[in-house]
Structure formats: C-alpha cells, structure tokens
Amino acid sequence: MKHSVKSWIIATRPWSFPASAMPVIVTIAWLWSVGYDVQWWLGLLAVVTIVFVHAAGNVWSDIADYRKGVDAPDVVCTRLLVDKIFTIQEFKRLSVSLNCVAIVLGLLMVFLTGPVTLYIGIAGILLSLGYPFLKYKALGDVVILLCYGFLPMIGTSYIITGEIVWNVLWITVSIGLITLAILHVNNVRDIATDRRAGIQTFPMLTGAQVGVWMYVFYVLFPFLWLVVIVLLGNVSWWGLVALLALPIAITNARTIIAERNKQWVKSASLDEKTAQLQLAFGVLLTIGMVLAHFF
C-alpha cells in the first residue's frame, strides 16, 4: 500500500519531539546566556540528530508494543499497526532508515567534535533500541531520564563548546521531569491493558493512585525547581519567564486528579498535552535565556 508523506510523518509521533528537541535547545540557550562561545551550527545539527534518533525509537517501540500485545484495538495508541494501515515490515524499514540518517549525522558530529560525542551517541542509540524491553521491566522511566535529560544536555554542552559543562544538570531536573511525565501518564492510563499484555511498568508497581500524584509532582515540581536554581544563581532571573507555562501544568494536573477513579476518558490525550507543556516550558525558558544574554 502506498502511503502519503503525512502518514509516514504521523508514524514517527511528531507531537512527542519537544521531549528530545527542547533539552538540546535549552542547553544551547543557557550556555550562550552565561557567556560560552557557542558553535550554533553544531547545535542545530545536534537538534536534528536527536530528533531522528527519537523518531526511530518511537517507530521501533510501536513495533515492539504491537507484537507484545500492548497496542491493541481497545488501547489508546497511534493505531497505524493495530488498524493494519502499515505493516510491521514497513515500520521496520522506517525505523532503520531514520536510524541510518541519525548515525550519519552523529558520525559527522564525531568527526567535527571528538570521541566523547561518539560515546554519548552510542549510549543514546542503544538505550533507544533497548527501550521497549526495559520499559516492560519497569525501567522505562530511567531510560527516559537518560535519553531525554542527562545525555542530550551533557552531550550538547560538549558538542557546542568543546567541554562537558556539568552545571547544565541543574536545568536537567526541570526538563527531565516534564519529559518523564509524558511517559508516566501514558503508563498510568494503560495499567490495566499493560497488565493484560504481561508487561510491567513503574506505575504498575506503585499503583494508579500513587501514579496520579507522581504525575502531578512531575509537572509541577519543575516550576518550583526553576525558582530554586534562579535563587541559587544558576539561571538568570529572566528564566522565570518559563513560569508562564504553569497554567498548562496545573490544567494537566487537575485533569488527571479528576479522573483518578474513573476511566481515563479525558486523560486519553494527556501525553500529548504534556508534550505541549514541555514545548511551552522549553520555549519560554529559551526566551528567558536569550533575554538574559542581552540584559
């Protein structure tokens, strides 16, 4: 079956890309705001590369979920495999193609920056490929924090400045927790169907009620942490511009709290809304960093 370009793009779950792009973009903006000599074009290359890795990982994860029975007709998912719109072979080719592009771009960065980039890139790709298996063993949260928090922010600092800037980890807490919330809310909503498929996610260990309040923590604590690191001097006062995204976080938190004893109807799209929160928080924080550079 011939598919449109739009269908192929949808297969990569583009709504989730802020989870990978924003950590890199925020890192670039922060390093620039505190006076580092930033190689902008290498930063752009890093953004594009991690988005390709993310897209490939999304497709690979969908294949694993479909085969395992995690994605089924009664489960909220992309449905491209469940509804037989795409075949597994088509998804495999797409994932391999996206990974090949990511590897080529990654090797280019290694050539331009050094071996540290290679080590970080290998770790990222291996974690991306191993994510389905690790998620089924309740370790998906750890992978998310590493792949979309620690590794991209540390890696970006090295790529664009030539050194690992450990202080960027102060910002990783806020960015990483919101990213983790995207996966977490999905797993809380799908506890029953995940149990039926024979896998184990972290919310299955804690229970749905605890999982709900953990999500609330994941989306609200980053704003408190931002205030803390501003007071500590790690981020300029201009960074508080990101507090403008707080109403989105509160709305998301209220949504899941209201449905904690129900059927998760309104929470069905909460993973996408959490990605939108990540985008809003990241963009506003980036704007704050830019303002800090000039003022």
pLDDT per position in the chain (295 positions), as tens?
Answer: 688 888 899 999 999 999 999 999 999 999 999 999 999 999 999 999 999 999 999 999 999 888 888 877 777 767 888 888 899 999 999 999 999 999 999 999 999 999 999 999 899 888 888 888 888 898 989 998 998 889 999 999 999 999 999 999 999 999 999 999 998 988 888 888 888 888 899 988 988 889 999 999 999 999 999 999 999 999 999 999 999 999 999 999 999 988 776 666 556 688 889 999 999 999 999 999 999 988 8
Q: Model's pTM, two decimal places?
A: 0.92
Which DSSP helix (H) or strand (E) runs through 10? Answer: helix 5-11
**Domains of the chain with CATH codes:** 5-294 (1.10.600)
pLDDT of residue 102: 93
pLDDT of residue 262: 64
The 3-state secondary structure of 16-44 reads HCHHHHHHHHHHHHHHHHCCCCCCHHHHH
pLDDT of residue 78: 76
Question: Nearest Cα to 152, choosing from 225, 234, 43, 59?
Answer: 43
* Other beta carbons less than 10 A from residue 163's beta carbon: 10
pLDDT of residue 286: 96
Burial of 58 (C-beta count, 10 Å sphere; 0-12/13-18/19+):
buried
Largest CA distance in the chain: 57
Token pair in block for residue 132: 């389905």
Q: Give how far the C-alpha of residue 237 lies from the chain's centroid of Cα atoms, to the nearest Å.
A: 26
